[in-house]
Chains A and B, each alone.
Chain A
Amino acid sequence: MRPSQSATPAATEPPFTAGVPPAASIAARGISQVYAGDDGRPVPALDDVTLAVAPGEFAAIIGPSGCGKSTLLNILAGLDAPTAGDVLLDGVVTPPRARLGQVGLMPQRDLLLPWRTALGNAVAGLEVRGVPRGEARRQARELFARFGLAQFAGAYPYALSGGMRQRVALVRSALAAGPVLLLDEPFGALDALTRADLRHWLLEAWQALGKTIILVTHDVDESLLLADRVVVMSPRPGQLRGIIPVALPRPRDLAVQASPAFADLRRQVLDLLEAHP
């Protein structure tokens, strides 16, 4: 499932978070979520979603607005409890609380603390986990150096561009997360050029850190450029429409994006998205 080239850097580099396995499988089993609507009537948001993501896999979830993608991520991260169903971490059913700090969720907004420097923000999650400050800063510095952020370590968020802020937020999530990282449209608020730039960057980070990643997006090409598998969801209440394996070679550059294979996959995803039940 994982591309062969990613195994090399992950194997030669020491793990960044001591004591935490670099990757784990995560699975949703029969997850349903029902909200109480404004008029008190139940509003179903997710309907019996079952999905398994392998250790170190990069999965993308795509679906129309309001299909419950974010709801699913919040449940997987342990922030919300589902109405029905279980979440399995490495094959074991876990209560929501146990996943906090194990399954990291990066929201669309960068949510940097304005009173901390970029480096200070990046260590926020490690700090909560009780990693000593010096050690946390060392780990963050290492990632900053690796991902071209070194010169911004001492800068405050107001001095950073939107793309830079998002990178810092991603480093923070990567350091905070245990083996699984969930990304909720992390590039949604950025312009097209910055998005493309950050996509490359995210792939690099994934390959270096060896985490299991689930990315929520509404951009078909983005999902095909990044993921090992694309999970397509239906409109609300969200159900699984289908899972499309993306067997394209990496790196997926412009040539790959222009290839007939890519066009064919795009067609498959769009067909599933537009299918009527």
Chain B
Amino acid sequence: MMLTSVARARVQDWWAAIDWPQARRATFRALRRAVAPVGALVALLGAWQAYVVFNDINPLILPAPSQVWQDTLGDWWQLQPALVVTLQETAVGFAYAFVFGLGTAGLLDLIPLARRALYPLFVASQSIPIVALAPLLQLWFGTDLTAKVIVIVLVCFFPITVAGLDGLRATDPDLIRLYRGFGASPWRIFRAVRLPNALPALFSGVRIAITYSVIGAIFSEYVGADQGLGVYLREKQAAFRVDLVIGAIAVTALASVALFLLTLLVERLAIPWFYAERRRVNGDG
């Protein structure tokens, strides 16, 4: 009951502080900013289409975008369930990576010995070619979710750990002293001061990690699975369906961008104070 009243007070504070006209302006600004990249993409696709049409390229080697679109739509009944499976794996894998990344950041921050002992190992883990490791994981854990989650965690925990650790360590020492003056324990200081202080940096890491996680999921399927985008890609490649391979790649890219934008939205809602402070300093949004 106590907890719910605390939660309610937090949510009320948060809701009351939303500046709606500002939120509307920010949305319009974001849409305006999207015009240029979308225009560039359209130009690129146009050039591709023109190249294929005017040079009469064999569609088995390089299909035109219009053909990719048609064929992918035609094969959507196969592609769509594969996409759903991959996104589910991505979600589970990313959740594990987030918990693991944040946990290691906290551990490395609180225990200097752990930082000295483990940080180099984490750096080294990033140089492991996943291509080499994934078949081994499959051998050890089979084709169920465990091996896939391990691959995804390996691919995307690192940005979260590094960003989280940087954010935790960048806490204003005067703020920590202030809390020490209140008689606060190290754990209280971590919870009340350092963790919230690390959130903006942490979100930068999450933005990178979430796009990696899709790649990680597809890769883990590519090596060994019976459904998902990785399996779909492998099968279509074996059948020399260049059109469907390109279509699946485009769908993957779109899914990554969508997840990235979702992270941005969550970030805006979770740390409005950070953006408000930045607006005040920069005089813009």
Contact = CB atoms under 8 A, between A and B. Distances in A.
Interface of A: 77-79, 100-102, 104-105, 107, 109, 111, 113-117, 120, 124-125, 127-129, 132-134, 137, 154, 156-159, 176
B274 to A, nearest CB: 7
Interface string B1-35: 01001100100010011000000000000000000
B196 A113 contact: yes
Interface stretch (B51-59, B65-73, B170-178, B212-220): B170-178
Interface string B125-159: 00000000000000000000000000000000000
Contacts of A129: 182-183
B193 A113 contact: yes
Given A109-B174, A158-B276, A117 B183 contact: no
Given A111-B172, A117-B17, A100 B274 contact: no
A114 B277 contact: yes
A100 B277 contact: no
Contact of B16 (A101, A125, A133, A154): A154
B273 interface: yes
Contact of B271 (A115, A158, A159): A115
10 contacts: A77-B181, A78-B181, A115-B274, A124-B179, A124-B182, A125-B182, A128-B184, A129-B183, A158-B273, A159-B276
Contacts of A137: 9
Nearest to A119: B13
Contact of A79 (B5, B16, B180): B180
Contacts of A176: 181-182
Contact of A100 (B6, B182, B199): B182
A132 B6 CA distance: 10
Contacts of B180: 79, 100
Given A113-B193, A127-B192, A133 B9 contact: yes
B182 A79 contact: no
A132 B2 CA distance: 9
Contacts of A117: 13, 17
B182 A120 contact: no
A-B pairs, top 4 by smallest CB distance, nearest first, are: A101-B183, A100-B183, A128-B182, A125-B182
Interface in B69-96: none
**Residues of B in contact with A, size category:** 20 to 34
Interface in B189-246: 192-193, 196, 199
B5 A111 contact: no
Nearest to A112: B175
Given A111-B178, A115-B196, A117-B17, A128 B273 contact: no
B268 interface: no
A154 B11 CA distance: 12
Contacts of B177: 79, 107
A77 B16 CA distance: 37
A158 B17 CA distance: 11
B13 A120 contact: yes
Given A113-B196, A158-B276, A128 B5 contact: no
Contact of B5 (A105, A125, A134): A134
Nearest to A137: B9
Nearest to B278: A158
B277 A158 contact: yes
A120 B13 CA distance: 9
B188 A128 contact: yes
B143 to A, nearest CB: 44
B182 A107 contact: no
Contacts of A105: 181
Contact of B174 (A111, A133, A156): A111
Contacts of A154: 13, 16-17
Contacts of B174: 107, 109, 111
A137 B178 CA distance: 20
A128 B277 CA distance: 26
Nearest to B274: A114
A105 to B, nearest CB: 5
B116 interface: no
Given A120-B13, A128-B188, A156 B179 contact: no
